[in-house]
Amino acid sequence: MNITESIQYIGVDDRELDLFEGQYDVPNGMAYNSYIIKDEKIAVFDTVDENFREQWASNLETALDGRTPDYLIVQHMEPDHSANIIYFAEKYPNAQIAASKQAFVMMKQFFGTDFADRQIVVGDGSALELGTHTLKFIAAPMVHWPEVIMTYDETDKALFSADAFGKFGARDTDEDWACEARRYYFGIVGKYGMQVQSVLKKVSALEIERILPLHGPLLTENLPYYIGLYNTWSSYGVESDGVVIAYTSVYGHTKTAVELLSAKLAENGCPKVTVTDLARDDMAEAVEDAFRYGKLVLATTTYNMDIFPFMREFIEHLTERNYQNRKIAIIENGSWAPNAAKVIKGMFDGSNGLDFVDTITIRSAMTDENKAQIDALAKTLA
């Protein structure tokens, strides 16, 4: 597929994958993107997952149209992008490999060689001339691996953004970009907001007309929208007004309280209420929603003087990704020794900018007093 007169897409769509990185449900598959710039010299950008070697190799040969590549640009060493480096190196023995210093260390780990006689080590400010195209390299450590680089093509004003601006789903999937890009971001990149902010500052001075990520669709229109979302996500800002209620319930009493709160929020005009059963619903979706909205209610039982395991897992996902700048309310349930609220607050001890607005304690089943407390909480949150 031609992107510009010089840039072509040579990636593949994976429609067979069920879990990305062994944990993220991908009902619409996954795209492994790869690109080629044809100029006086030819540069190939990244490879694809090893299961799609033949298809990628065929795409590459078709794009080369009888020519031979001069460079392989390795932006990211995760195997879904790097698995075919060794194939490329053997197929095109005269091609050089451009990557960060740490990427070559990882190549040695993955392949037993760091291609010492073919290395071009690049970093911030490094440039590579292809003819009419000049490639400028941008170090992007921990977005989301330490060796990552991005590449800016000055001629076509294209930012090859590695895993940044990627999303779940094959490229031809007809779905809202933000939903699956958000789930992808907070699941995979979200811990590294500070590093993403650093890269966004680096690229802010560039004139960018297209963003070419390693996953998902190529972004060629309305770029301020995508960049704006990335800025909000990586600065842990609130994207949408609403309340997320994440709960666990053993015998249904906590669930009843959650259903009452959800109804009361709606009555009070809350613009969006999302309710998640952490034992049954997709955990990555729950994490995505918690970062999207500014208010979170955690409702759970005391369990072995701790909290229910799915709630603990959920909070661990949040704190691992630097959850911050949000309002939190707690509904705890305990028949003889309620302890959930204490445990939850303790788990957030290292988090910044959290405002615990209320705690409601239920002993087994709701009382009229609890119902009044939930009514008051709904007014506060709405």
C-alpha 62/C-alpha 127 separation (Å) is 27
- The token duo for 91 is 């197929």
Contact 8, 2 (CB under 8 A): yes
Chain centroid to Cα 229, Å, comes to 12
CATH 3.60.15.10 placement within the chain: 7-234
Contact 331, 297 (CB under 8 A): yes
What 3-state DSSP class applies to 327?
strand
**Of residues 294, 276, 291, 373, the one with CA closest to residue 332:** 373
CATH 3.40.50.360 placement within the chain: 240-381
What 3-state DSSP class applies to 355?
strand
Which one of 3.10.580.10, 3.40.50.360, 3.40.50.970, 3.40.640.10 gives the CATH number of domain 240-381? 3.40.50.360
The residue type of 48 is V
Region 7-234: CATH code:
3.60.15.10
In eight-state DSSP terms, residue 127 is E
> What's the N-to-C CA distance of the chain in angstroms?
48
| Single pTM value for the model | 0.92
**Of residues 271, 341, 280, the one with CA closest to residue 306:** 341
Q: Along the chain (382 residues), what's the average pLDDT of each consecutive run of 10 residues? A: 95 95 94 98 98 97 97 97 97 98 98 97 96 97 96 97 96 91 96 96 95 96 96 96 97 97 97 97 96 98 93 97 97 94 96 96 96 97 94
At 172 the pLDDT is 84
Triad 58, 60, 63: Cα angle to 5°: 110
Which residues have CB under 8 Å from 161's CB, separation 6+?
150, 211, 212, 213, 214
**Of residues 139, 136, 145, 137, the one with CA closest to residue 163:** 145
Residues found in the chain? 382
Residue 320 CB coordination number (10 Å)? 11
By DSSP bridging, strand 35-38 and strand 42-45 are antiparallel
**Of residues 29, 31, 30, 36, the one with CA closest to residue 10:** 36
Residue 39 CB coordination number (10 Å)? 18
- The token duo for 298 is 């955690």
- DSSP per-residue letters across 171-215: TT--S-HHHHHHHHIIIIIGGGHHHHHHHHHHHTTS--SEEE-SS
